[in-house]
Chains A and B, each alone.
Chain A
Amino acid sequence: KAGVTQTPRYLIKTRGQQVTLSCSPISGHRSVSWYQQTPGQGLQFLFEYFSETQRNKGNFPGRFSGRQFSNSRSEMNVSTLELGDSALYLCASSLGPTRETEAFFGQGTRLTVV
């Protein structure tokens, strides 16, 4: 079956713009989490969604937001982009919102802010 699909794969935006990233989880998976990966900060948790509800949120400013649709696809939005938002954004999907369930990651979206 298809894996986790993230679109687009690469994105270049200008400082001050906003961006929307998309994640389609594995079919049947209802939990989606987002992580930011940078050389300086490593992998940091952004938020987690399950059945269209945000269950958990990391320590990021309000410019970072997300949502999940009824088909479990998720989007994350970053408004008023800053240079420091340049990163690889990874999405992970799992069957449910429990730590026992295996998480499958997508290949990420590489965002460059110029």
Chain B
Amino acid sequence: AQTVTQSQPEMSVQEAETVTLSCTYDTSESDYYLFWYKQPPSRQMILVIRQEAYKQQNATENRFSVNFQKAAKSFSLKISDSQLGDAAMYFCAYRGWGTGNQFYFGTGTSLTVIP
């Protein structure tokens, strides 16, 4: 089964600074999607960014970008110009062909933004 590992249970960043959240995964598939979801205290999972494994270009969404290293099976999230509203749990997730339509989630990283 696919596994997703987030080795940083907690991270903190000063407002306006940059922070990088790490994620590694294990799979034997060659085509899959990777995601970063944000879960604020409201509990609703919100899609931050997604990356298709076949696309070599790293995805970006405004202040959010990823560093996708397929060979290393690494998928980190960089948040630039951090804002107070970025404080949340961040989950890395995998979705592939052989897994049906289900997500495999990491254990999450709790991000604190310090004013």
Give chain A's interface residues, CB within 8 Å of chain B: 31, 33, 35, 42-43, 45, 48, 55-56, 58, 88, 90, 92, 94, 97-100, 102-108, 110
Contacts and interface: CB of A to CB of B under 8 A. Distances in A.
A99 B43 contact: no
Given A42-B105, A102-B47, A48 B100 contact: yes
Given A45-B102, A99-B33, A107 B44 contact: yes
B101 A48 contact: yes
B96 A99 contact: yes
Interface of chain A: mostly helix, strand, loop or mixed:
strand
Interface residues of B, number: 23
A83 B96 CA distance: 33
Given A42-B108, A43-B91, A99-B95, A55 B43 contact: no
25 contacts: A31-B101, A35-B103, A42-B106, A42-B107, A43-B103, A45-B103, A48-B100, A48-B101, A55-B100, A90-B43, A90-B45, A92-B103, A94-B101, A97-B101, A98-B101, A99-B32, A99-B95, A100-B33, A103-B47, A104-B47, A105-B37, A105-B44, A105-B46, A107-B44, A108-B43
A55 B101 contact: yes
B42 A99 contact: no
Interface of B: 32-33, 37, 42-47, 50, 91, 95-97, 100-108
B97 A99 contact: yes
